[in-house]
Amino acid sequence: MAAILSATGERDPLRTYAVNQDGTLHVLEAARKFGVRQVIFTSTIAVFGPGLPPLVGDDVSLRPTTMYGVTKVAGELLGEYYSRRHGLDFRGVRFPGLLSAVLPGGGTSDYAPLMYYETLRTGGYEAFCRPDSQIPLMYMPDALRALVELSLAPRERLGRCIYNIAAFSPTAQEIADEVARVVPGARITFKPDPARQAILDSWPRALDDTCARRDWDWRPAWDLARMSDDLTPKLAALAARAGK
C-alpha cells in the first residue's frame, strides 16, 4: 500500500514514479519469485480523469491527471499482466478518499479529514477547495474490511481483478456542516488552491460499485454521520496530544 499520494506526488513526480511504480513492480516480482499466491492491490479514484459522468463505473477510459494516478493505472495493468502471465491471484480495489483516526499524508482528499482534525485542534479550518467540491469518501474501517473480504472471496465468483468500491459522496460544504454538528462553533472557510482544486475537479463525484456488490457482496457499513460520531473523539484525543 505504500505510495506517494496525489498532492505530494505533484511536487516531485519522478520520485513518485520511482516509489509507486518501481515499488509495485518489486512486490509483483517478489511474489512471482517466491511463489506468493495472492497480491491485494490498492488503487484509487485518482486513476480517473476529466470528462466522466457523475456516477463512474469500473470500465471507463482511465486518463489520470496526476503522477500518482498514472502509477496506479499502471499498477492495475501490471498486476493483471502478472495474473495472466504467471497465474498470480491479483485483486484490488479503487479506494475513495479515506478518513481515519490518524493524520492524512499528502492526498488531495485531505481537506475532508483535516476539517475534523484542525477544527478539533484550533476551532476551525480553511479548506483548499470550493464548497461544491464532491468526491467519493470512505471511513478506514470499511476500507480495511473491503481488502479482507476481497482477499477471501472465491476466485470463481470474481469477474475482474480491480473493483470500484463506494461509501458516501458529500460535497465539501456537507462535510463542513457535519463537522459543525459534532463540533459546535466550528469555523470552516473555503479558499481554493487552483492546483489541488483542478485535481479534485478531475475525479468522479461518485463511484458505481455494482460489480463489487455482485461479485463479493461488498457493502459499506459507515455513512458520513456514523463516521463523524466514531471519528470525532478519536481525532480529539489526537489533537489534544498535538497541543493547541
Q: Enter the C-alpha cell of residue 165.
A: 468500491
Which of 17, 41, 48, 68 forms a contact with ligand SER (CB under 6 A)? 68
Which of 79, 92, 97, 204 forms a contact with ligand SER (CB under 6 A)? 97
Q: Please tell me the count of residues contacting ligand SER according to CB under 6 A.
A: 11
109 binds ligand SER (CB under 6 A): yes
Which residue, 185 or 194, is less far from ligand SER as judged by CB? 194
Q: Using CB under 6 A, which residues numbered 29 to 48 contact ligand SER?
A: 44-46
108 binds ligand SER (CB under 6 A): yes
Phi-psi region of 80 (alpha: psi -120 to 50; beta: other; left: phi over 0): alpha
Helices (H) and strands (E) in the chain — how many of each? 10, 9
Which residue, 107 or 220, is less far from ligand SER as judged by CB? 107
5 binds ligand SER (CB under 6 A): yes
Which of 92, 107, 136, 192 forms a contact with ligand SER (CB under 6 A)? 107
Question: What values do phi and psi take at 176, rounded to 5?
Answer: -60, -40
Question: How distant, in Å, are the alpha carbons of 64, 140, 228, 241 from that of 100?
Answer: 25, 5, 10, 16
Contact (CB, 8 A) for 64 and 17: no
